[in-house]
A and B are shown apart, each in its own frame.
Chain A
Amino acid sequence: MAVTLEKGSESLSGGNGAQPLHFYRTIPPVPDLGRSVRVVGEVENVDMNQSPHPRNGRGELGKALFNLQHNTISKDPFIRVSAPNHFADRRHFLTNVVNQASKGQTNSRRVEVTDAEAMTRHIKAVAKHMGADIVSIAPAHPNIMYAGNRYVQDGTAEDAHEADTPEDLVRKFPYLIFVTTAWPYETLQAHRHHIGDSSYHVSQMKGNMILKAIEGYVKELGYTALRGVANPQGTALASGVGELGRNGLVISEKFGARVHMPDPIMTDLPLVPDKPIDIGVSDFCGVCRKCAVTCPTNSITFADKEKEKAPLSRDVSGFGEYNGIEKFKINWLTCYKLRPYTHEYWSSCLTCAAICPFTKPDKWWHTAAISWLKSTPIPARPLVVKTLKAIDDKFWGTIKQKRVQWLGYDSGIKPGEQACTVAGCTADHGAASKPVAGDVGYYFPLKENTNRFVKRD
């Protein structure tokens, strides 16, 4: 074994004395987040207590949303074990178990790291061994850190660094480990349906478990692992997981938009950070508007990046500067407010992720298309994008309507109707059951139904 163990000093657990190997000499004024997101002004760190879920928890978004998130038991048995806040018994939701487990101590016998590159390869191999689909390392930067109280799922951070400012944390813990899982492609096709929920929630629970295991492993190596400190999207952009799309989602090279953005691990473990990537998302989103067309709540902007760039306020969508950052921004409020109207049919919308041309199975033709776009010089890219989008429209359609069957669920059954379409089932399901034919999936609600209550700006 090539690892040498040395007794750590008292200061290790406090984090004041130990210096990571590749320490920032100076923190750069702005982080490099790639081409899709630019820091152009003063960034005020986001207080997670002002983000949608905590605001809803305080009842600030109205009764309907509060009751959905806090007083609603799902009628669907699988949603009751996989979706946050719709369980009948909270002990049945694995993420509760993982997030509420008491926190382990940092090992006082630290594994000394002499080769940060070897440790980086090791942490990536560890994450892959545990089943992660993407793992990357970001250099920490104050602009991608949260402000205010830490957003830790069990409500308490309980460590020596709770009172630290973002700058303090970045100096002490220069790296962010970003680990995530991808949503299975086939079940995602049934978005706005319980089948699509399973795609999202199963991979999310698995990702949370993997992150908790890696957090524990970093502590066992003898280094600090902090959660609830960094913005996951900022971390993903800085570490080259993907680029930010028109739909407000980080779009990855292998999986498109079907990746989770879970809470990264901030650490002083010596690592070598990755760099942002350019897979042509900002060129593609400048032309393609498939997510904006299909969004049931019109929360995604149609804005032209060049001609309609404008400063944005909190509750609007558009392209331009918001909180010092220039990007495509969605209207989170209208996106969020659809939920109470649909929870009998689904709990996670996923329309913009499913329709995105980048969201494809991880196959050679997908890799080939991205390589073509990547290797084209930027000024020539709009032509490639138009070609690729035409191919996408022709073969994958402008609306996702594929019929999917999974675990006895069938998106070929119209919302509100009852049918048993399981092959060979001889069980008696009563008189309401009707035969289902065709290859069309029905996804609630249809866009024409939502246009009534969320008008486009």
Chain B
Amino acid sequence: MKLGPITLPWGGGDSHKNDPYWDFFINTPPVDLENSAVEMMRRAPEGNVFPTKSELHTPEITSSHVKELGLYLGADVIGIARLEAGGDHDYPYGVITLVKADYDTREANGIGGQVPTQNALYVTFVLSAWMRELGYRATAVEDPDAEKLAAAANLGTLNAKGRLVTPQFGPRVHVGRVIRTDLPLAADG
């Protein structure tokens, strides 16, 4: 919001309304998916677990380090949920990454609309690779229950449509891949 020479830190809304190309950036999906950095990271294979385990501190401190690194890499909110035993995997913990989303990543399919996906993939790629280099199993997966896990980790609540609503960004949030790991952590919530 502008009042003459003074810019106020609230209001404003969409500041791109004078940009004739912004809608193309946000909503037009790439013709060639090879042009999408999101696709490059999505398809990247995971590497091996480092053969020697690193010396760790207590699970609470390891958790704080996982979160510290996640935020340093650009996550806006990060939490740890305990995963149900059984099912298709045997990982005890899931690390959930939230990134502020100006546009809904399920609807805005342009390179711009997918920027939150890009940022979340960057975080989960590096964070899960680091956990494997610490000598523990870690895999970043698209989890259909990611929003439920985020709610279980006290990152927000689910609304009537089952979508995550966070105290920081409301529903304008993208839930990244869930990093399933056996790194000794302490779950939130």
Contact B31 A118 (CB under 8 A): no
Partner of A216, one of B30, B54, B58: B30
- State whether A122 touches B22 (Cβ < 8 A): yes
Closest Cβ–Cβ distance, residue B125 to chain A (whole Å): 6
Q: Report the bound CA distance from A395 to B158 in whole Å.
A: 50
A119 surroundings in chain B (CB, below 8 A): 21
Given contacts A125-B19, A216-B35, A425-B57, contact A91 B46 (CB under 8 A): yes
- B37 CB-CB contact with A under 8 Å: yes
Contact residues of A between 1 and 53, Cβ < 8 Å to B: 1-3
Whole-angstrom distance between the alpha carbons of A77 and B49 in the complex? Answer: 11
CB of B1 closer than 8 Å to a CB of A: no
| Complex contact A131–B119 (CB within 8 A) | yes
- Is the beta-carbon distance between B119 and A102 smaller than 8 angstroms? no
Is A220 close to B, CB under 8 A?
yes
Task: Assess the A94–B41 pair: CB atoms within 8 A.
Answer: yes
Given contacts A89-B48, A91-B47, A202-B72, contact A220 B57 (CB under 8 A): no
Chain A: CB-nearest residue to B15: A125
Please give, as numbers and ranges, the residues of chain B lying within 8 Å of A407 by CB-CB distance: 65, 68-69, 72
Say whether B129 faces chain A, with CB atoms less than 8 Å apart.
yes
Q: Tell me the smallest distance from the CB of B135 to a CB of chain A, in Å.
A: 8
Interchain CB contact (< 8 A) of B19 among A111, A122, A426: A122
The answer to whether B112 has its CB under 8 Å from any CB of chain A is yes
The 8 Å CB contact of A408, one of B37, B45, B65, is B65
CB of A252 to closest CB in B, whole Å: 21
B169 within 8 A of A: no
A92, A104, A122 — most chain B CB neighbours (10 Å): A92
Decide yes or no: A126 and B112 within 8 Å by CB, A3-B21, A88-B133 being known contacts: yes
The A-contacting residues of B in range 25-46, CB under 8 angstroms, are 25, 28, 30-38, 40-41, 44-46
Distance in angstroms from B62 CB to nearest chain A CB is: 9
Q: Are B32 and A424 in contact (CB under 8 A)?
A: no
What is the bound-complex CA distance between A357 and B175, given in angstroms? 40
Q: How far is the CB of B51 from chain A (nearest CB, A)?
A: 8
Contact B133 A425 (CB under 8 A): no
Given A206-B74, A216-B35, A216-B111, the answer on whether A125 and B68 have CB atoms closer than 8 Å is no
Name the distance in Å between B34's Cβ and chain A's nearest Cβ.
Answer: 3
Q: In the complex, are the beta carbons of A219 and B35 less than 8 A apart?
A: yes
Report how far A130 CA is from B46 CA in the complex, Å: 24
**Quick check: is B105 within 8 A (CB to CB) of the other chain?**
no
Supposing A98-B37, A220-B111, A408-B65 touch, asked if A425 and B58 sit within 8 A by C-beta, the answer is yes
Nearest A-chain residue to B16, judged by Cβ: A125
Report which of B34, B47, B69, B112 forms a contact with A101, defined as CB distance below 8 A: B34
* Shortest Cβ gap from B33 to chain A (Å): 8
**B20 located at the interface, meaning its Cβ lies under 8 Å from any Cβ of chain A in the complex:** yes
B74 touches A131 (CB 8 A): yes
- CB neighbours of B102 from chain A (8 A): 129
B40 touches A98 (CB 8 A): yes
Judging by beta carbons under 8 Å apart, are B24 and A129 in contact? no
CB contacts (< 8 Å) of B28 on chain A: these are 220
Q: Which residues of A contact B20 (CB under 8 A)?
A: 1-3, 115, 118, 122
Report chain B residues within 8 Å CB of A424. Answer: 58, 60-61
Listed residue (A103, A205, A220, A221) with the most chain B CB atoms within 10 angstroms of its CB: A220
Interface residue count on the A side (C-beta < 8 Å): 61
Instruction: Using A3-B20, A77-B50, A82-B126 as known contacts, say yes or no to A109 and B119 having CB atoms under 8 A apart.
Output: no
**Chain A 72-105: CB-based contact to B (< 8 A → 1; otherwise 0):** 0000011011100000111111100110011111
Any B CB within 8 A of the CB of A399 = no
| B residues less than 8 Å from A425 (CB atoms) | 57-58, 61
**Using Cβ atoms and an 8 Å threshold, which residues of chain B touch A212?**
37, 40
User: Does B57 contact A213, Cβ atoms closer than 8 Å?
Assistant: no
The answer to whether A217 and B57 touch across the interface, beta carbons within 8 angstroms, is: no
Complex: chain A residue closest to B24, CB-CB: A3
**A118 CA to B34 CA in the complex, in Å?**
27
Asked if A406 CB lies within 8 Å of chain B CBs, one says yes
| B35 with A1: CB separation less than 8 A | no
- Name the residue among B40, B54, B56 with the largest chain A CB count within 10 angstroms: B40
Is B115 interfacial (CB 8 A cutoff)? yes
A107 on interface, CB distance cutoff 8 Å? yes
Q: Give Cα A122 to B26, complex, Å.
A: 12
Are B57 and A1 neighbours in the complex by a CB distance under 8 Å? no
Q: Does B23 contact A (CB under 8 A)?
A: yes
Contacts of A115 in B (CB 8 A): 20
Residues of B within 8 A of A121 (CB): 19
Specify which of B23, B48, B50, B126 is in contact with A205 (CB 8 Å cutoff). Answer: B126
Which residues from 97 to 119 on chain B have a C-beta closer than 8 Å to any C-beta of chain A?
102, 111-112, 115, 118-119
User: Assuming A2-B20, A221-B21, A424-B61, what are 19 further A-B pairs, CB within 8 angstroms?
Assistant: A1-B24, A77-B130, A81-B133, A91-B129, A93-B129, A94-B126, A109-B31, A121-B19, A122-B19, A122-B21, A129-B25, A202-B72, A205-B126, A217-B112, A406-B68, A407-B69, A407-B72, A420-B57, A422-B61
Closest 4 CB pairs of A and B: A216-B35, A104-B34, A104-B35, A89-B47
- Supply 21 A–B pairs (Cβ within 8 Å), ascending by A: A1-B24, A3-B21, A88-B48, A92-B133, A97-B44, A104-B30, A105-B32, A125-B16, A205-B122, A205-B126, A206-B73, A209-B37, A210-B37, A216-B30, A219-B32, A220-B28, A221-B24, A406-B72, A407-B68, A408-B57, A422-B57
